[in-house]
Amino acid sequence: MSFSNVSTDNGLTFGAATLDNWRTLLNDSSFWDSLKFTILFVIIAVTLEYFIGFGLALLLWRPIRFGGFFRVLFSIPMMLAPVAIGFMFRMIYDQSNGPVDGTLQRIGLGQPPWLAQPHWAVASVIIMDIWEWTPLLFLLLLAGLQALPEDALEAAQLDGASGFRVITSIIFPILAPISVMVVFLRMVDAFTVFGQIFLLTGGGPGTATTSTTLFAFFQGFQNFNVSYGATIALALLVIVTAIALAYLATARFLMRRIEA
């Protein structure tokens, strides 16, 4: 479809093969803006999700009181449907009746324009994604922590290593393969973010939170430019594949340095 002229005037009809869609894509500033937002969203959201998830995993690694309850509590967000999460955060960010603005006003911090200004809208989307997907990284990293060899940790404690030194010199290097895997899975999935943003901001204000998948949806199913929508989707596939391969190559290099 991306190499054809597709018309929906008399049903779905295909024209001759052409590169017009790809030429249009390369010169489409809206596409590049959506890609910039998507990459920014992925970098910030996945980075924060990893470190928050790692911190939570460290807190619940050792047996504590009500540890099982907190594990279940922290896992609930990723079990909810994206539609429910989008609607829920839309109500949370509501400037008239939302609980966040009401609380901030009561303590004298003002009323942030969560969904009305571009920078605030981008932050709102990232916060929503962190709340939803940090539990996935938390559970995977917690499983990795529980599989750590106890003898290495005990030897470090006998040598007088501080807690921070144990984390940076023993725990983090041993967890490197799991960390690479969980970040890779979350990164690839984050590039396809759609439903939550569609329901929370609709890609606005303006095009500030229009992800590439959302842009493809608008072109293909709202503007009925089906072939161009397919071109955007295929271009995203190529870009994500290239980024994923570069990430894995970099991770292998760094892991060899850590092992050395």
Residues in contact with 44: Cβ distance below 8 Å, sequence separation at least 6, in sequence order: 126
Task: Encode pLDDT of 145-159 as tens digits.
Answer: 888 877 877 777 777
Which domain, by its residues, includes 218? 4-259
pLDDT of 43 higher than 80: yes
pLDDT of 57 higher than 80: yes
pLDDT of residue 11: 63
3-class DSSP state of 192: coil
The gap from C-alpha 91 to its chain's centroid, in whole angstroms, comes to: 21
pLDDT of residue 8: 67
Query: CA-CA distance, 229 to 203, in Å (whole number)?
Result: 16
Task: Encode pLDDT of 106-116 as tens digits.
Answer: 777 777 888 98
3-class DSSP state of 17: strand
pLDDT category of residue 94 using cuts at 50, 70 and 90: confident
The residue that leads in pLDDT, 166 or 128, is 128
The pTM assigned to this predicted structure is: 0.91
Q: How many domains does the chain have?
A: 1
Task: Encode pLDDT of 177-202 as tens digits.
Answer: 999 999 999 999 999 999 999 999 99
Q: Would you say 103 and 111 are in contact if contact means Cβ atoms under 8 Å apart?
A: no
Which whole-number Å values give the CA distances from 230 to 6, 76, 181, 215, 217, in the listed order?
A: 10, 35, 29, 11, 9
Closest CA to 39 of 228, 191, 141: 191
CATH number of 84's domain: 1.10.3720.10
Query: Across residues 88-95, what is the average pLDDT?
Result: 89
